[in-house]
Each structure stands twice: as structure tokens, then as C-alpha cells.
Chain A
């Protein structure tokens, strides 16, 4: 039996492919939107995974360094260290800074850590050039996205820092590139004031004495101890908020990303609805263009099913081709976006399922037109 859909598509192949490309770009954007969400999830977890701490101890009644401002004294790490069940604990700072570049400053998140400590946030697997920080002062490890090279000098505050290492694919939960500096430098940058400010403060009787403040104490728990129990003990005796790694992940993904996820989800849903409407309109137009032929086919006695199957097949093929073009489009463009886009195969298959359902729904408008086509319209000119 002659495949009417195949013949029709072959007859107008160029038009069909261009139409599929247009719809495909929309579907590509849907894939990229999903990729943005996946990218945010990945970004959110990079620092957590690299630090790999079991407990995050922060200022009481705050959500920790990624969600709310938190200040704790650096020596808290020693108090935590001697608590039962703690294997190691370290102090860390997190702060947004701008790295000066001739063309445009780069906004980054600086992680300050004890370079002699046992919890090092610089993941050796991500270090693609140079080395980790070895000196207490004026060394910096940057991510490749910042554009700096090894041995570049970067002015931060009142001092110049030398780039000693370059990492790849390290970003904060907000998508900003990460840089790493020593804890002492970080404290200086975050908590020390300019000379004039110090003079003013001293005139008021306020001492510039915050350089031993940090944002968080991270700790690892000994094997055999329950992290929740240890966390409970710290909360009880130290009057601090303590989050396990799972809770910290939840804060990042649920509290910080949830709204973005909802926004992206809504955009994605709207784009899918728009794509469905566009496919439906295209199929409706394609059916309208064939109404005379459809009336003649009905007049000659061709079964409705044969004509309907042509419309449904064409719609499905349009959806499939659009999906293929959408994948090509998203894979060609995803790395051009400033933030991380993660394209995952299960997401693509899920979209394929949605496209098939959307195509079937969209074909109804064409099918309805076929059913209502009057065979007598072929007679009488």
C-alpha cells in the first residue's frame, strides 16, 4: 500500500525540514532549560562534594554560608575537634569578590581554607595546571573560566596574589567561578578594614579585631559515629546551628534552587505547550492545504482511516524530526551559555515522550478537519 505520509513529506521535503528545524529550536531551548536546572544542581553540589565534610557548623539560627550570613570564631574548630566522634575540623570562609581584569572584572566566590588543614576544598582531580596553595600569603588558585594564567598577578585588597594553580569546572552554587586563597588572606580580605576605617573605629573605641572570625567550621565524623548524634551534641553544647552534609545539600537544592527550578519548570512547560500549539497549527495548515485532495480522496471512496493515518504519521514525523533537530541544536549551543548546562540522556528521552504525546494531541486538529471534509466539495468546481 502506498505510504501517503511518506510521499507527501518527500514532495515537500525542504518545507517539512525547515518547519521541523523551527519547532526543533523550540524543543532545543526546552532541553537547554532542563540543562540549566541540571547544571544548577551540579554547581550546587561541587563545593559540598569537594569539601566532603560530614558536618557544617555555623552561627546559631542561620542556614550557613551559602544561604545566610554566618560568623563564628576560628578557634571553634579546636573546640569541635575535641568533641566525641569528631575526626577532624577546619575553619573556612566564603566571600564574593571581584577579580580585576583590564576588560571587565570577574565576579567570583573566594574560598578561604587552612592550607595546612586536613580538609582541603581544592579537589586534585579538578586541578589542571600548577599546584595547591603552599604559602600562607598571596597565593591564589583560580578556575580556568576566570581567564587568568599561571603566574598572573591579581590585586586583591592591598596586595598582589600570584596564580599558582588553575582548576577546571569549579563554580559556586550560584554559578560564579571559584577561587581559593589561604584562610589568613581570606580573613584579611573579609574582615580587615582600611587604615582610615581603623582610625575612625579606634576614635570610637572599637578595635579592629575580627580577623579571627570565619564563616563556617566543617568537620568530619569518625567511622562508627552517627553524624546526626554528633550534630545534636554540638547544637546542645555549643549553641550553634549544625547541618549534616545531606541537610546542607537540601538547603542548597531546596531552599536556594527550588524557586529557580520552579521558574525553569514553568518556562519549560510553557515552551512545551507553545511547541504543541505550533505543531498543531502547522498540521492544521498542512491539512488545509490538502483539503481539495482530501475531499477527492473521500469522494473516490478512500477510507477515513487511510487519510487520518497520513495526518497522524506526518505529525509524528514532524515531532520526531523536530526532536532530532532540537537535540542537535542544544548540543551545538549548550557550551556557549555562561552558566553550566548539563544535557542528560534521560531528560532527552522524557522530552521525546512528551513530544510524541504532544504530536498526537496536535494531530487531532488535522484529523478533525479530515473527518469534517465534505466529499461533495470535489464536485461542482
Chain B
């Protein structure tokens, strides 16, 4: 069965500054990621990974190009929807290096906050949150505070939060940066399972080549453009 497109980017350009101070970060980057795919985004430091992540996350405006989220074109040399915040709220999930849960909300409130902002009823949001917590095997912690959970448990809650609004795409910014190799592999395996079972595309920024074999695709920023690498044994970072 043909997988649906989660995100499509065409001729994306990002420049900073003007005239003599012009810095070209991304030039004519084009790629397409299907739902259910786990994709690694790699590049040396300063090559534009975060900039690319912010553009496809509707946080930073590209200089030019096109971005589709599913069938909706969200950027066509300007934001097509005025409220990019609404796009983020409804179509995108975020996972960070640290869990960054809101410390004064308990686990279930952290997960239901965004759906409730999207006008989902409290009951439906809680039901979905409990399903996600059960899926991630931490349902017993639903009413605990983030400070009462271990780092690994909190990261799973952060993943549940990213899934709570049924996003088209999840953008993960080095989610394994603070973990040892074994735990990193375990997290990536979990993300791969989530991508397949929840039918969501996950783009993960990483510097860790030990986890690359677990990704479906590896996207690398090279010469300000995007190149897809095959999963062979060679070191590509």
C-alpha cells in the first residue's frame, strides 16, 4: 500500500543577512517523507540542521520555497495560513534533548494541555492520554509530577505529549543526546515503533552514528542541500 506523504519540501532556501553580509544556509533543499517513516537528519555543527528543523516546524520563515504538511501547503514563499502557531498545535509534535515537561503540571495534564487547547474535550483528551501512557508503559504514573519520574520515564511522557495532538510529523531534536548507547538505541527503537504504529513521520536530528542503522532514511545537509544516504556500514557523519 502506498504510504501517505507527511511532509514535502521543494526548493527551500534560507539566507541570513543582506548584501556583503549574506549567509546562505539552505539552498534549494527538496525532500519528501512518508507517514510511518523514521528519518535521521544529520550534518556537522553549524550546517543548518536547527534552521531546517525550525522551518519545517513552522517556527522560522524560509526565504523561499514550498512546504506541504500532508496535503496542505503551509508555505509558498509566504505562510499560507496566517497562524503558524495553529499549524504547530494541530499538525506537529516536538521532542527535545531534555524532556522539558511543564514542571507544575502532572503527567496527564502535560499530555492533555495541547489537545484541550485544540478544543478537544477534557474527557476525550484524558482518554487519549491514558491510551498513550499505556502504549508507552507508564500509565501508572499518570498523576505523578515530572519531578517524581526518572529521566527515561519523563522522556517517554514527552513522546506521549508529542503524539497527543495526532500530528502529521514529529520533530525530535537530539532526543538521545544525553543517553548512553544502549538507552539511545532503546529510544530510537521506540520511536521507530511509534512511527509505524501511530502512522506518523518522525524526523530526528542526531549526531550519534551508532543509532543510524535503526532509521528508515538518513537525510544529510551537504553543500547547503539535502542528500539522502543509504544505510550502509560506512560512517556518514
Contact = CB atoms under 8 A, between A and B. Distances in A.
Contacts of B177: 381
Interface stretch (A20-28, A256-264, A292-300): A292-300
A332 interface: no
A380 B173 contact: yes
Contacts of A297: 102
Contacts of B109: 2, 7
A378 interface: yes
Nearest to A381: B97
Contact of B100 (A8, A292, A302): A292
B169 to A, nearest CB: 13
Nearest to B88: A301
Given A293-B100, A298-B85, A378 B94 contact: yes
A12 B113 CA distance: 20
Given A2-B112, A297-B102, A303 B59 contact: no
Interface string A154-171: 000000000000000000
Contacts of A306: 117
Interface residues of A, number: 25
Contacts of A293: 100, 102-103
| Chain A contact residues, majority secondary structure | helix
A376 interface: yes
A376 B60 contact: yes
A379 interface: yes
A11 B94 CA distance: 25
Nearest to B100: A296
Nearest to A304: B85
A153 B103 CA distance: 71
Contacts of A378: 94, 96, 100
Interface string B43-58: 0000000100110010
Contacts of B87: 301
Interface in A286-319: 292-293, 296-303, 306
B48 to A, nearest CB: 11
A8 B102 CA distance: 9
28 contacts: A1-B116, A1-B122, A2-B109, A2-B112, A2-B113, A4-B104, A10-B104, A11-B103, A11-B104, A293-B100, A296-B100, A297-B102, A298-B85, A299-B59, A299-B88, A299-B94, A300-B94, A300-B114, A301-B86, A301-B117, A302-B89, A376-B50, A376-B60, A378-B94, A378-B100, A379-B53, A379-B173, A380-B50
Which 7 interchain pairs have the tightest Cβ spacing? A301-B89, A11-B104, A301-B88, A380-B50, A8-B104, A301-B85, A7-B104
